[in-house]
């Protein structure tokens, strides 16, 4: 049985009221901002236009390559400007409500964001970090909730609260780097043996958390530009993967604008079934989706599109469907990820048996797709796709933790489950 380790960071924050007034008194953060937004902030702090470019370069370097959390640390910025910046701005990250660490090193953060519009409560999102020996993958959220309602996904049962702002998307990366000591000279965390071996602890980013990233197109695009900025976070575009349920009109544009990898949540090989599982299919059916994939810019044998296929017992897991999957993807530079279904309280499906997953994988393997089954990770802390924020809805933090523990125990006792570990071949 798996041992559960649950760490709660700053219990004071866990109980902090998430009221509108508490959120509104916070100064604006510059952490996670685009170059354009940093320039605009510098203007508000009185920096003349002709000096802004140089100052943006300094801020970019301090915020994104050094990870500083105080303007005082910016030693090549004049004391006067540092004071003016500190009067108006902060370098705050999203507020941590809780942090959980799995025995396999997977980490999950529940984060609270400020109220920006008419939300009654401060919105919460989750971010998951999955370390392996040679890479570290960060799974980030793009929206609070989702407008789509895929029937097997818990996020799909939550209405869309709001889109994340670019700095809230980038803020998830900064916060993760803080927590795992991934800044130059930062002390390693106590459990550093669970981190990858290389210098950089976050090597891959997958947009596979809460939300449909292509329905928050501009903000996700701007955030990924910050992530890929060669003088800042310097994430390789080839190690960023956007996952979409199939917003066909935006797929090609995304590829042209950003050059990142693409993952498609396929999950069914027939339109009638996909209409039910992934209802956006009624608008953009499988044939149109696959055409958009064929045309995705930069796709090649070395840079394949990942097709995600969740294994649902008796629903989409027959061997005939495995053969049809291979047939459908013929001629597309594709990788296939079979994802064991992660049940959540109230879900109407069960995960396919391991035997059936293996048989299905065998068909896919024989067609030349290597290791198509995703390794389960972080199942003791419910860090899996579609489970984000699942049992936590409407529970207080302490109740949430015990609910998580109880469900994790059930899973550890034999219910299959897994998490996304990103795009393992990039």
Q: What φ, ψ does residue 261 adopt, rounded to 5°?
A: -75, 160
Among 34, 245, 342, 352, binds ligand SF4 (CB under 6 A): 245
Establish whether 385 is a catalytic residue: yes
Q: Parallel, antiparallel, or unpaired: how do β-strands 135-139 and 143-144 relate?
A: unpaired
CB 408 within 8 A of CB 381: yes
Q: Which helix (H) or strand (E) holds 143?
A: strand 143-144
Note whether 152 binds ligand SAH by CB under 6 A.
Answer: yes
Could you give the 3-state DSSP secondary structure of residue 302? Answer: coil
Residue 403's contacts (CB-CB under 8 Å, 6 or more residues apart) are: 391, 392, 395
- Give whichever of 41 and 150 is closer to ligand SF4, judged by the CB atom: 150
User: Among residues 95, 99, 126, 165, which one is catalytic?
Assistant: 126
| Nearest residue (beta carbon) to ligand SAH | 386
**Could you tell me how many helices (H) and strands (E) the chain has, helices first?**
13, 13
Q: How is 346-358 classified by DSSP, letter by letter?
A: T-S--BPPHHHHH
Note whether 308 binds ligand SAH by CB under 6 A.
Answer: yes
C-alpha–C-alpha distance, residues 226 and 96, integer Å:
22
List the alpha helices (DSSP H) in 61-142.
Answer: 79-88
C-alpha–C-alpha distance, residues 250 and 218, integer Å:
11
Among 243, 260, 261, 391, binds ligand SAH (CB under 6 A): 243
- Give whichever of 60 and 243 is closer to ligand SAH, judged by the CB atom: 243
C-alpha–C-alpha distance, residues 400 and 406, integer Å:
10
Q: What is the nearest approach in angstroms of ligand SAH to the Cβ of residue 328?
A: 17
CB 418 within 8 A of CB 340: yes
Q: What is the nearest approach in angstroms of ligand SF4 to the Cβ of residue 37?
A: 27
Q: What is the nearest approach in angstroms of ligand SAH to the Cβ of residue 53?
A: 36
Using CB under 6 A as the binding rule, the residues of this chain from 115 to 154 that contact ligand SF4 are 146, 148-150, 153
Q: What is the nearest approach in angstroms of ligand SF4 to the Cβ of residue 169?
A: 15
The binding track of 35-64 with respect to ligand SAH, each residue x by CB under 6 A or -, is: ------------------------------
- Give whichever of 32 and 211 is closer to ligand SF4, judged by the CB atom: 211
CB 254 within 8 A of CB 217: yes
The separation between CA 310 and the C-alpha centre of its own chain, rounded to angstroms, equals 17
Scanning 117-125, 228-236, 238-246, 313-321 for contacts with ligand SAH by CB under 6 A, the matching segment is 238-246
Could you give the 3-state DSSP secondary structure of residue 129? Answer: strand
Total residues contacting ligand SF4 by CB under 6 A comes to 11
Total residues contacting ligand SAH by CB under 6 A comes to 15
Q: What is the nearest approach in angstroms of ligand SAH to the Cβ of residue 341?
A: 5
List the alpha helices (DSSP H) in 180-318.
Answer: 217-228, 248-258, 271-277, 286-294
Establish whether 139 is a catalytic residue: no
CA distance from start to end of the chain: 32
Q: Look up tokens 């109980």; give the residue.
A: 15
The region, left, alpha or beta by phi > 0 then psi within -120 to 50, assigned to residue 170 is alpha
Q: What is the nearest approach in angstroms of ligand SF4 to the Cβ of residue 151?
A: 9
- Give whichever of 132 and 212 is closer to ligand SF4, judged by the CB atom: 212
Using CB under 6 A as the binding rule, the residues of this chain from 258 to 297 that contact ligand SAH are 265
Q: Which of the choices ligand SF4, ligand SAH, none does residue 339 contact, using the CB cut-off of 5 to 8 A by kind?
A: ligand SAH
Among 97, 290, 329, 385, binds ligand SAH (CB under 6 A): 385
C-alpha–C-alpha distance, residues 59 and 81, integer Å:
12
Using CB under 6 A as the binding rule, the residues of this chain from 164 to 223 that contact ligand SAH are 208, 212
Using CB under 6 A as the binding rule, the residues of this chain from 31 to 50 that contact ligand SF4 are none
Q: Residue 299 CB: number of other CB atoms within 10 A?
A: 18
Scanning 65-73, 123-131, 172-180, 241-249 for contacts with ligand SAH by CB under 6 A, the matching segment is 241-249
Note whether 388 binds ligand SF4 by CB under 6 A.
Answer: no
Note whether 155 binds ligand SF4 by CB under 6 A.
Answer: yes
Q: What does the chain come to in residues?
A: 426
- Positions in the binding site for ligand SAH (CB under 6 A): 152-153, 208, 212, 243-245, 265, 308, 310, 339, 341-342, 385-386
Q: Which residues are catalytic?
A: 126, 385
- Positions in the binding site for ligand SF4 (CB under 6 A): 146, 148-150, 153, 155-156, 211-212, 245, 265
């Amino acid at each position: 049985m798996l041992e559960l380790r649950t760490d709660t960071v700053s219990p004071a924050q866990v109980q902090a009221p998430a009221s509108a007034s508490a959120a509104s008194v916070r100064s604006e953060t510059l952490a996670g901002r685009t170059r354009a937004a940093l320039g605009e902030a510098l203007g508000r702090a009185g920096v003349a236009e002709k000096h802004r470019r140089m100052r943006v370069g300094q801020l970019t370097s301090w915020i994104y390559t050094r990870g500083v959390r105080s303007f005082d640390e910016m030693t090549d910025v004049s004391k006067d400007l540092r004071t003016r910046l500190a009067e108006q701005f902060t370098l705050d990250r999203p507020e941590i409500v809780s942090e959980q660490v799995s025995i396999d090193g997977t980490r999950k953060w529940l984060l609270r964001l400020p109220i920006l519009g008419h939300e009654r409560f401060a919105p919460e999102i989750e971010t998951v970090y999955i370390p392996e020996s040679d890479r570290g993958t960060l799974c980030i959220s793009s929206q609070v909730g989702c407008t789509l309602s895929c029937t097997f996904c818990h996020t799909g049962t939550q209405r869309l609260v709001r889109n994340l702002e670019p700095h809230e998307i980038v803020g998830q990366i900064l916060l993760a780097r803080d927590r795992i000591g991934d800044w130059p000279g930062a002390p390693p965390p106590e459990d550093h043996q669970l981190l990858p071996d290389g210098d950089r602890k976050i090597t891959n980013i997958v947009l596979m958390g809460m939300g449909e990233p292509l329905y928050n197109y501009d903000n996700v695009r701007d955030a990924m530009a910050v992530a890929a900025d060669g003088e800042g976070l310097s994430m390789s575009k080839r190690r960023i993967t956007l996952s979409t349920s199939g917003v066909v009109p935006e797929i090609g544009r995304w590829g042209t604008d950003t050059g990142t990898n693409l993952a498609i949540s396929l999950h069914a090989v027939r339109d009638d079934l996909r209409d039910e599982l992934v209802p956006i299919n009624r608008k953009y059916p499988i044939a149109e989706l696959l055409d958009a994939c064929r045309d995705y810019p930069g796709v090649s044998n070395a840079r394949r599109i990942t097709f995600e296929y969740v294994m649902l017992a008796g629903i989409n897991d027959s061997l005939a469907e495995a053969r049809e999957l291979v047939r459908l993807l013929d001629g597309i530079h594709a990788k296939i990820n079979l994802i064991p279904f992660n049940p959540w309280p109230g879900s109407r499906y069960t995960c396919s048996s391991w035997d059936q997953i293996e048989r299905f994988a065998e068909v896919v393997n024989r067609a030349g797709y290597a290791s198509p089954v995703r390794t389960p990770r972080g199942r003791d802390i419910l860090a899996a796709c579609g489970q984000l924020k699942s049992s936590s809805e409407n529970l207080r933090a302490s109740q949430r933790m015990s609910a998580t523990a109880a469900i994790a125990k059930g899973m550890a006792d034999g219910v299959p489950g897994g998490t996304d570990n990103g795009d393992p071949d990039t």
